[in-house]
């Protein structure tokens, strides 16, 4: 199952089809954007196998400059990838679905910038640390029950734990990166 009514929150257990769906969308985006997309990755809760997620696939596209995406807005629209018309916190958002149901959120960020690194590090950290993923999942499930028809409040409620886990993920990634050269010697 992929898709959720706009503004609502429903969490479901991880589904294999999410990864397959993401691979197909990434393939399409690579064809459409060519070298403008430096890297494209499946992110968000649907990319974390041990937790529940809203059945909306999140994809991040890394570009050199956010303005690089402007020439592709109409081409993307022809493939039902709709520009949300705004840049928020250094990110351009596109969505897939229709007026009622959202199936995908596609985030355009500067490759290797803070947004890119946060998305990748968060996903990788939670996939690597089950106890942290369970902590995050528990928080999400409580908020989903409380705010099933108020996605903005649900999202705001996750902010504190996300910031904490991002800080931990950054430290983890830093240690991992500095430890890797030692393993090669």
Q: What is the pLDDT of residues 93-110, one digit of tens each?
A: 999 998 899 999 999 999
At residue 89, the pLDDT reads 80
Section 115-143 average pLDDT: 97
At residue 86, the pLDDT reads 74
Q: What is the pTM of this model?
A: 0.92
In this structure, which long-range contacts are made by residues 102-105, counting pairs with CB atoms below 8 Å and at least 24 apart in sequence? 102/3, 102/4, 102/5, 102/6, 102/56, 103/2, 103/3, 103/56, 103/57, 104/2, 104/25, 104/56, 104/57, 104/58, 104/59, 105/44, 105/56, 105/57, 105/58, 105/59
**Domains of the chain with CATH codes:** 4-179 (3.30.460.10)
At residue 180, the pLDDT reads 58
At residue 184, the pLDDT reads 47
Q: For 15, which DSSP code?
A: -
Section 159-170 average pLDDT: 97
At residue 181, the pLDDT reads 57
At residue 171, the pLDDT reads 94
Supply angle C-alpha 67, 107, 136, rounded to 5.
Answer: 150
d(CA 158, CA 156): 5
């Amino acid at each position: 199952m992929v898709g959720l009514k706009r503004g609502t929150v429903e969490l479901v257990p991880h589904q294999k089809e999410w990864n397959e769906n993401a691979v197909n969308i990434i393939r399409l985006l690579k064809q459409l954007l060519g070298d403008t997309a430096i890297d494209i990755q499946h992110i968000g809760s649907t990319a974390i196998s041990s937790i529940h997620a809203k059945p909306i696939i999140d994809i991040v596209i890394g570009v050199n400059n956010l303005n690089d995406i402007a020439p592709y807005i109409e081409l993307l629209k022809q493939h039902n990838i709709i520009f949300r018309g705004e840049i928020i916190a250094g990110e351009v958002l596109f969505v897939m679905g229709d007026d009622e149901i959202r199936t995908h959120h596609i985030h355009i960020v500067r490759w290797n910038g803070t947004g890119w690194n946060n998305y990748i590090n968060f996903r990788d950290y939670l996939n690597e640390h089950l106890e942290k993923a369970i902590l995050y999942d528990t928080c999400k499930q409580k908020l989903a029950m409380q705010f099933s028809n108020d996605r903005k409040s649900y999202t705001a409620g996750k902010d504190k734990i996300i910031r904490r886990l991002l800080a931990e993920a950054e430290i983890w990634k830093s240690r991992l990166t500095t430890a890797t050269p030692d393993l090669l010697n």
